[in-house]
Amino acid sequence: MDGKETPLQVLIAGCGYVGTALGLELAAQGDTVWGLRRNAGKLPSPIRPVAADLLADRLEDVLPQVDRVVYAAAADGPREDAYRRAYVEGPGRLLAALTARGDPVERFIFVSSTAVYGDAGGGWVDEATPCIPENFRGSRVLEGEEAVLASSIPGLVLRLGGIYGPGRTRLLDRVREGKARCPGDGPIWSNRIHREDCAGALAHLLRLQEPHPVYLGVDDAPTPLCQVYRELAAMLDAPEPQVDPASTRDRSNKRCSNRRLRESGYHFRFPTFREGYRALVESGA
Ligand SMILES: NC(=O)c1ccc[n+]([C@@H]2O[C@H](COP(=O)([O-])OP(=O)(O)OC[C@H]3O[C@@H](n4cnc5c(N)ncnc54)[C@H](OP(=O)(O)O)[C@@H]3O)[C@@H](O)[C@H]2O)c1
């Protein structure tokens, strides 16, 4: 904050991996931050804990009065009912509780996913591309988006790509263990974003004047997954990934554009997976 901006009162609902990074960043710049989750004892200071289940009765009784909300809860498991709870019922209940109280919430950001797009045959997608989810995961997340954007509280959606960062090193681990596999029939594009850029982009969007309703949150460089593996293998001095045609199954293939987010003034801390993973490797991850 440059000293001229008014501090915000922010509730982060579903304050986990991304939410905690965002909360710490906002608090460091002078905002007041509440983190809502069931296991609120896990939240670091100065995030103010709100121990609650988003699906519990009388949610309105435990909510702090805030002017901004970020909804970043994730599904508890891979089944459709878990997705419905996290992405449809959770935001629905929270919006209803905020509306019932008449709180003057000026922005409700829904953390969404690029899964809403489904397969684009390796082509580019952006915020104007129609969403045709391939499976219930994308469908339930899209349903949540629609509810947020239809609410009387001003809503905004950030569709994140694959998140990586400290403690989320699945690709590095796969390469290190010799388990990385390349598809055999053409490139499958990987769209990634470092946790610090998830937090940075959300902090930026919380204050952005006259935002669009939807932004894509991915870095500058959609890259074929096999190329990501190869570069990580070189970085780690690990074996080259092997080709396995079966590894293409269930992967939607698209290149996500971050142009709208960049043109809104956001500067990526890790513009590509190269800088992001290099920093992780150098930090001992
Ligand atoms: N991981 C990815 O690559 C990826 C990609 C695209 C989009 N996203 C989206 O990004 C968002 C943030 O992801 P993340 O990695 O930060 O998730 P995360 O670490 O799993 O955090 C989500 C938090 O939500 C809380 N939560 C879940 N259900 C709740 C409920 N009923 N009531 C209260 N709190 C609840 C959980 O805490 P408690 O268990 O303590 O309640 C958890 O800490 C999610 O919407 C996710 O779908 C993720």
- Residue 277 maps to a domain: no
- Residue 284 maps to a domain: no
CA 122 to ligand 1 center in whole angstroms: 28
- Residue 124 maps to a domain: yes
CA 236 to ligand 1 center in whole angstroms: 30
- Residue 94 maps to a domain: yes
Show the domain range for 88: 9-166+191-222+254-270
Under the banding of pLDDT at 50, 70 and 90, the label for residue 199 is very high
CATH number at residue 69: 3.40.50.720
Q: Which residue puts its alpha carbon closest to atom 20 of ligand 1?
A: 74
Give percent of the chain above pLDDT 90: 90
- Residue 282 maps to a domain: no
Q: Which residue puts its alpha carbon closest to atom 44 of ligand 1?
A: 74
Residue with the bigger pLDDT between 175 and 251: it is: 175
Other Cβ atoms within 10 Å of 198 Cβ, number: 24
Is the minimum distance from the CB of 21 to ligand 1 under 6 angstroms? no
- Residue 176 maps to a domain: no
Is the minimum distance from the CB of 77 to ligand 1 under 6 angstroms? no
Structural domain count of the chain: 1
Omega of the bond leading into 46 within 30 degrees of 0 (cis):
yes
Is the minimum distance from the CB of 111 to ligand 1 under 6 angstroms? yes
- pTM confidence score: 0.97
- Residue 276 maps to a domain: no
- Residue 146 maps to a domain: yes
- Residue 244 confidence (pLDDT): 87
3-state DSSP helix/strand/coil % of the chain, to nearest 5: 40, 20, 40
